[in-house]
């Protein structure tokens, strides 16, 4: 065990874990964040995605030691039920899920996309999210939600 100081959603947290413990379990179990999900543990489905220094990262295969110096953002860091981020607002407005288990990863990768491309085409959104699996098949709603969020962010002048 070793101590690691993590910067998560703007807060500094210290955890005592093995250096190779996957970041996912630290976020879920030590920091009690529900956003990132265990889906496969193999970086195949995208449900565990968080932003590490702004980059979408599969937390299920990321050792905590490699993320210790970085800025980590989970879906909790985007907004709350009372103060929704435009992406969260858009996914709710489009009712863009059934079970919603994949939703965390979709939102986090979309966040990174909109940060670098405020006006993506549907094609670009689909290509960005192609590494994320959705089993209830809310794909079309998810694409619409990302477009809705992009428009909202542009209108707010946040992108």
Position 108 contacts other proteins (CB under 8 A): no
Query: Which C-beta is closer to other proteins: that of 112 or that of 157?
Result: 112
Residues 6+ apart with CB under 8 A from 42: 60, 61
Q: Please give the residues from 110 up to 139 whose contact with other proteins meets the rule CB under 8 A.
A: 123, 125-127, 129-130, 132-139
Among candidates 9, 24, 105, which has minimal Cα distance to 60?
A: 24
Determine contact, residues 47/105, Cβ cutoff 8 Å.
yes
How far apart are CB 51 and other proteins at their closest, in Å? 14
How far apart are CB 10 and other proteins at their closest, in Å? 14
Position 21 contacts other proteins (CB under 8 A): yes
Residue 36 CA to residue 74 CA, distance in Å, equals 7
How far apart are CB 72 and other proteins at their closest, in Å? 13
Number of H helices, E strands in the chain: 5, 5
Residue 116 CA to residue 112 CA, distance in Å, equals 7
CB burial of 49-63 (b: ≥16 within 10 Å; e: otherwise) equals bbbbeeebbbbbebb
How far apart are CB 112 and other proteins at their closest, in Å? 16
x/- map, 48-87, other proteins, by CB under 8 A: --------------------------xxx--xxx--x---
SS3 134: coil
SS3 83: coil
Query: Which C-beta is closer to other proteins: that of 81 or that of 157?
Result: 81
Question: Where do contacts with other proteins occur on this chain (CB under 8 A)?
Answer: 17-18, 21-22, 25, 28-29, 32-35, 37-42, 44-45, 47, 74-76, 79-81, 84, 88, 91-93, 95, 97-104, 107, 123, 125-127, 129-130, 132-143
């Amino acid at each position: 065990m070793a101590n690691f100081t993590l910067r998560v959603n703007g807060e500094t947290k210290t955890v005592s874990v093995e250096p190779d413990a996957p970041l996912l379990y630290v976020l879920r179990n030590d920091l009690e964040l529900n956003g990132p999900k265990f889906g496969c543990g193999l970086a195949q489905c995208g449900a565990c995605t968080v932003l590490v220094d702004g980059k979408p990262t599969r937390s299920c295969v990321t050792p905590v030691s490699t993320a210790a110096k970085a800025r980590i953002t989970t879906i909790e860091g985007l907004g709350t039920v009372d103060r929704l981020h435009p992406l969260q607002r858009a996914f709710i407005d489009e009712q863009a899920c059934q079970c919603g288990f994949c939703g965390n990863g979709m939102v986090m990768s979309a966040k990174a996309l909109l940060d670098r491309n405020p006006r993506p085409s549907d094609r670009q959104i689909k290509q960005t999210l192609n590494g994320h699996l959705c089993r209830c098949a809310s794909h079309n709603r998810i694409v619409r939600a990302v477009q809705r969020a992009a428009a909202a962010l542009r209108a707010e002048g946040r992108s």
